[in-house]
Amino acid sequence: MKKILGITVLAAFIGGAAAIGGYKLFEHNQTGSTITEKQNLYFANNPLKVSSAGTTDFTQAAAAVAPGVVHIKTTYAAQSGGGRSSSPFDMMEDFFGGGGRQMQRQPRAASGSGVIISQDGYIVTNNHVVENAEKVEVVLTDRRKVEAKVIGRDPNTDLALIKVNATGLPVVKMGNSDNVQVGEWVLAVGFPLDLNTTVTAGIVSAKNRSIGIIGREQQGSEITEEEYREYQRTGKRPDRPANTSIESFIQTDAAINPGNSGGALVNANGELVGINSAIASQSGYNQGYGFAIPVNLARKIVDDFMKYGSVKRGYIGVNFVPLSGEDKPEGIKTNEISGLYVNDVVAGGGAAAAGIKSGDVIKKVDGVVINDSPDLQERVGRLNPGDKVKLTVLRDGALKDYTVTLKGEASVGLTAKNAASKGAEVSKLGATFAPATQAQKSKYGINSGVVVTSVTTGKAFDNIGVEKGLIITKVNGQPVNSVADVQKALPLGRNNMVSISGVGEQGSYNYSFPAQ
C-alpha cells in the first residue's frame, strides 16, 4: 500500500512539474517568438473551421476573418497651402477620405484598415496609412478604441507594423501567397469610405504585378544630365544606389475603395494571402483593379520589426532591365526576349563578388524561371543579409549558375555618406532637395529643377504649403539644378522676401514668403 501511495505521489509530482514547464514554454512562445510561431501556437489551440470545397459561399471565411480586421484612424500635424502632394501614394489621400486641403493651418485626419496577426496586439497595415501620423488609433470590431504604437515602417514594401496594448484579440490566419492561383476566389475585408467592416469578393486577376507606385517614391536614383555627360567623356559609370523598392502585387477585381488600404485579402479558406495596398483608377474609386502585397513578403517584414525594430534586407547588388519582345532600350546588347538584363553591377555588392557582370541575363532564381523584375525582387525580399541565392545566368550563349551571398544596405550605397543622393538639406527653407532627372524635366518641359525630397514641420516650406515631390525650377529668379544652386540663389530678394517657382502634378506654382 505504501509503495502504491509513493508511486502516486511521484506521478503527481512529475505531472505538476511538466505542467509548470509547459506553461513556462507557452509563456515564452507568447512573448519572445516570431509571428509564424505565435500563429502556429494560436491556431493549434484554435483551429480554423472553414470549408470552401465545391462552393462559392464565403460566409464561413467572412465570419472567421472580419473580427480580426480593424479600422485605423490617424491624425496629422497642422499643415497649410493650397497645393496637393505629387506623391504616387496620393491616390491614397482620397483612399483615406482625407479630402481637399484648406488654406488655414488645421489638423488633418485620415483612415485605413489593419489586420490583427497575434493575440497580444500586433497589427499589420500599410506604411502610407501611418506614415507621418502624430496619433494612430485602432477601432476594434467590438467598438473599443485603442491607441497604437508604430513598431516599424518599411517604405520599400509599403508595409508597417503597429501594436495595441490589448490581449485575447481575434487573429487572422496567415496563408501561403505562393499557392495563390490566377482565377482563385478571394475576399477583400476592410473599412472603405469610413463604412463599418465590409467584405467584397472577386478573383485573383494576376500575380507578380509591378505598377511603379513604390519605385516612384525613390528620388535621385536616375542618372542626371551632368552625370551622363561625364559618362560620355570618361566612360566611367556614375555610382548610383540600387533601386530598393519591392513590388510584386497580387492583382484582384474584388472591389477595393478608399479606406480598404491596409486591410485583408483572404482566400476562400479564410487565410490571409495579401495586404491591400493600392488601386488603379482614373476616378480614385474601384474600377476593377486592386493590388495587395503578398503575405509571404509581409511575414518577413513583420518578423524583422519584432526582432530588430527595422528591416534587415539582403541585396544582390545589380540594376537590371526586364527583357521582352518589344524594342529594347538603347545600350541593351542581347537578342533575348525574356529574363533580366544586368545593365550595372554595384561595386562591392554580392553579385560583383560572385562574378556577375554587366551584360549578363538572369534567367532563373533558385531554379525558378523569372521573366520580370517582381519575380526576382519579391523572392529576394524575403531573405536576409548573409543568405545565399543561386542565379542562373546567360552569358556568351551559355547558361551558368552563380551563388550570390546577399549583402546589407551598405553594399548598395544606402549609407550616411550617400545621403546627398536622397536629398541634401537647405536649412533656411526647411527642406531637402535632389537634382531632377532628365525624365522629369522632359515630362514637364523644363530645363532646370530640383525635387523636394522632404519638408520639415514648422519651417518655411511647410508654412507656405510646399510639399514633397514638387520640382523647384527657380529660386529668386535664378534657375536651379542642384542644392548648391539653391544655396547660391538664396541671398534675399527685395523686402527680405524669398521667391520660388515650381511645377508638379497639379500645374505650376509661384511662392513668395518672408525669410526666416
φ, ψ of residue 250 to 5 degrees: the values are -90, 120
CB 100 within 8 A of CB 506: no
Q: Cα torsion at 288, 289, 293, 294 (round to 10°)?
A: 70
- CA gap 61, 304 in Å, rounded: 29
Q: Determine whether 261 is an active site residue.
A: yes
Give the relative orientation of helices 35-45 and 295-308 as an angle to the nearest 10 degrees. 110
Does residue 246 contact residue 376 with C-beta atoms inside 8 Å? no
**Annotated catalytic, 128?**
yes
Active site residue 71: no
Query: 94-113 b/e with 16+ CB inside 10 Å = b?
Result: bbbbbeebeeeeeebbbbbb
Assigned C-alpha cell, 38: 505565435
CA dist., res. 476 & res. 137, Å (int): 43
- Of 370, 376, 244, which Cα lies nearest the Cα of 313? 244
Catalytic residue among 113, 245, 261, 421: 261
Q: What are phi and psi of 264, to 5 degrees?
A: -100, 140
Q: Are 142 and 88 in contact (CB under 8 A)?
A: no
Distance from C-alpha of 190 to C-alpha of 431, rounded to nearest angstrom? 35
Beta bridge partners of 434: 451
Q: Which of 237, 187, 241 is nearest to 218 (CA)?
A: 241
Catalytic residue among 158, 253, 375, 462: 158
Q: Where are the beta strands (DSSP E) in 367-423?
A: 368-369, 388-395, 398-405
Beta strands (DSSP E) in 155-263 are 159-164, 185-190, 198-209, 249-252
Pick the catalytic residue from 128, 205, 210, 245: 128
Q: What's the rounded Cα separation, in Å, for the pair 212 and 222? A: 14
> Can you state the percent helix, strand and coil of the chain, rounding each to 5?
30, 30, 40
Q: Among all residues, which ones are annotated catalytic?
A: 128, 158, 261
